[in-house]
């Protein structure tokens, strides 16, 4: 029997200080990652909350794009940890610019869902997987130099591939 859905959610928090012209600023970002693997699709939803006092920059690829252009998520088989190959489109490009980020005002949140079903080599049959996001957020949406590591806790889910 096919497993219909497995929703997983992990909450992470990072607090980092970033120096700037106005002295020390505190960046307080919280994010959750969840997976809905129903209806032959794997939908990944990421929610990022800016609980700080400064506008931050979110990578457009996770905050607004409908399709991945590179390996964005760390996706592995569970429990052996074998990495699933990225099979989606690859876009060769230069270094990121401020246009590659979306500003998130203080005390606000952004939620975005991406269908990764065709972007990774899911195996035929029902299998368990572990996914996490690893990337960066701008501590100041106006400065590329303010990039700070952003990662979520791993989320386990089940998917039936064809």
pLDDT for 71 equals 93
What per-residue string of b and e applies to 81-100 under the rule 16 or more CB within 10 Å gives b?
A: eeebebebeeeeeeebeeeb
Domains of the chain: 8-161 (2.60.40.2970)
22 Cβ contact partners less than 8 Å away, ≥ 6 residues apart: none
Q: How far apart are CA 157 and CA 95, in angstroms?
A: 33
Residue 45 phi, psi (nearest 5): -115, 130
pLDDT band at 93 (very low <50, low <70, confident <90, very high): confident
Residue 157 phi, psi (nearest 5): -150, 170
pLDDT tens figures, 21-60: 343 455 799 888 999 998 899 999 999 999 999 999 999 9
Q: Strand 23-36 and strand 101-104: pairing? A: unpaired
pLDDT tens figures, 96-121: 889 999 999 999 999 999 999 999 99
Structural contact between residues 52 and 29, judged by C-beta atoms closer than 8 angstroms: yes
Looking at residue 96, the DSSP 8-state letter turns out to be -
pLDDT for 26 equals 58
Please state the pTM of the whole predicted model: 0.82
Q: Where are the alpha helices (DSSP H) in the chain?
A: 60-63
Q: What's the longest Cα–Cα distance across the chain?
A: 60
Distance of CA 155 to the CA centre of its chain: 11
């Amino acid at each position: 029997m096919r497993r219909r859905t497995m929703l997983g959610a992990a909450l992470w928090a990072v607090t980092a200080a970033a120096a700037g012209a106005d002295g020390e600023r505190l960046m307080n970002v919280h994010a959750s990652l969840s997976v809905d693997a129903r209806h032959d699709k794997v939908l990944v939803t990421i929610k990022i909350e800016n609980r700080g006092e400064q506008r931050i920059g979110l990578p457009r690829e996770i905050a607004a794009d409908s399709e991945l252009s590179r390996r964005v998520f760390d996706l592995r088989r569970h429990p052996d940890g074998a990495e699933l190959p990225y099979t989606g489109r690859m876009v060769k490009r230069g270094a990121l610019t401020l246009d590659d980020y979306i500003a998130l005002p203080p005390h606000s949140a952004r939620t975005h869902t991406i269908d990764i079903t065709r972007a990774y080599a899911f195996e035929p049959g029902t299998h368990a997987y572990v996914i996490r996001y690893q990337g960066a957020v701008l501590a100041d949406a106006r400065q590329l130099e303010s990039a700070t590591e952003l990662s979520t806790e791993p989320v386990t889910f089940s998917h039936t591939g064809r």
